[in-house]
Amino acid sequence: MTLFLGVDLGTSSLKIILGTETGELLGSTSRPFAISSPQAGYSEQDPDEWRQAFEQAMLDLIILFPEVAEASLILGFSGQMHSLVLIDQAGNVLRPAILWNDSRTSAEVQQLREVFGDHLLSIEKNIPLEGFTLPKILWVQKHQPEIWAQTWKLMLPKDYLVYYLTGQVYTEASDAAGTIMFDIEKQCWDEELLQQLAISLEQCPDIQPSTKIIGEMNAEIKQRLGLKGKVQLVMGGADNACGAFGNLTDSQTQGLISVGTSGVVLTYETEKSKKDLGKYHYFNSVIADQNYKMGVTLAAGYSLDWFKKFLAPEESFTAFTRLAEDSPIGSQGVTFLPYLFGERSPYFTPNLSGALLGLRAHHTRSDIVRGVMEGIAFSLRNVYENMGIQSATSFKVFRITGGVVKNPFWLQLFADVFQTKMEVLSFDEGPAYGAMLCAVAGKNDTQLMATWQAANQVKMIYRSNAEQAGAYQEAYERFKKLSDQQASAY
């Protein structure tokens, strides 16, 4: 018997899900870890906490499902993109990992734009941003040269976990693409760029396919966890690439919307013309020769959580969001701009700020709550319409995932704002599910893969209501105008 595990190394926790050869999802475990912010704009983590979280979550899984200890296992991995881990020749971590949401690298981003902007857009297919890996490397070179001098390998978070478990230093295309020093079309490190920036090719991990078995778990770790069967690993992919792999079955007609702390709109590339590059992220997927476009709203679900802390800290989240149903479409003129962390897509500036506009004396809590929920959906539609796609109705259906799936009202709001169908799937396990499918694919069994793809059925469909969609259009245009006005100041 072979069991399949999907391991997702997120920003605040590590999650493991467990599946069988018959397409049954047995359960999951998770363990949290902390983010450190030693000064303004800094966001770091200790990779040792990732290792501890993995081992603790595995031990929890074995307690829940004792068969894990005896079975053959294949593990697939997903993880937070862009974050930088540096190790020395002995495998020691040289400094805390600099995370994707760290914003200390504005000077390095400006340098890259001025000197390498055209090159990055041509080869890496992206513009430099504070979140990406390359500016973090330049920051370490400048501010911690003694650390850089000791650096044997640089890697991404999930790749560090694979290194810890196998001793192998690998990555794969979907995570490598997010470093912005990876040739998207040739699927190799950009040696010309590396040379100009004093980064040696030897410091970069070797590239492996996302679904190829790359090694077995270290015997000492297996013994510590009490695992008796063969334990093999596949690389998996970046979190959003795994999210797409786990949710989308038709690259031509389906898009993905994820609403968690941040919000993501993702579509697979459907044509070879790459118009409007720079207005969205363009990365390799975990599927061979399949790329995707992606846009990000940094404070999506976070905005709603943030407002709840002020307006109703003791109220349940269900009761709080139900208030929105007492306000009409358009929130009686209240418009929320969710730029609490600045913004990624489509404005790409850390200088934007959140705003609650149009407030009058007659407005209620319901108007504000609905305004926030609408603003998040409007922001993601704005992201989508700047992804080189002609209109918000280009894709016939979106698969939607994240905390939003618990809220039918919000799901219908999304369907009306995007003016298309929204589907909710049976398994809403996020990137961990895509990572597990990478492990399944590592078995090279087409029937097994078909069994798993068929297992994740559509559970609920939300269709756009033409009358409501028309009413939302006016509110969306107001949102877009106000957002553009603020962005034009920068």
- Integer Cα distance of 410 and 365 in angstroms: 17
Q: Which residues contact 57 (CB under 8 A, 6 or more apart)?
A: 14, 15, 16, 29, 30, 31
Contact 355, 299 (CB under 8 A): no
What's the rounded Cα separation, in Å, for the pair 178 and 469? 35
Alpha-carbon distances of 140 from 145, 147, 344, 391, 393, rounded to whole Å: 6, 7, 23, 41, 44
Cα–Cα distance measured from residue 143 to residue 131, given in angstroms and rounded to the nearest whole number: 18
- 135, 239, 320, 435 from 83: Cα distances, Å: 11, 12, 34, 18
Distance CA 323, CA 318 (A): 9
Among 18, 15, 441, residue whose Cα is nearest residue 235 = 441
List the structure tokens of 2: 């072979």
Q: Which residue has the tokens 């190829």?
A: 212
The residue type at 297: T
Report the candidate in 470, 297, 317 with the shortest Cα–Cα distance to residue 375.
297
Which of 8, 102, 175, 239 is catalytic? The answer is: 239
Give all strands (DSSP E) within 350-476, no chain letters. 355-357, 397-402, 421-425, 458-462
Rg (CA), the chain: 22
Residue 239 a catalytic site member: yes
Asked whether the beta carbons of 190 and 181 are under 8 A apart, the reply is yes
Residue 78 CA to residue 81 CA, distance in Å, equals 9
Q: What amino acid positions are annotated as catalytic residues?
A: 239
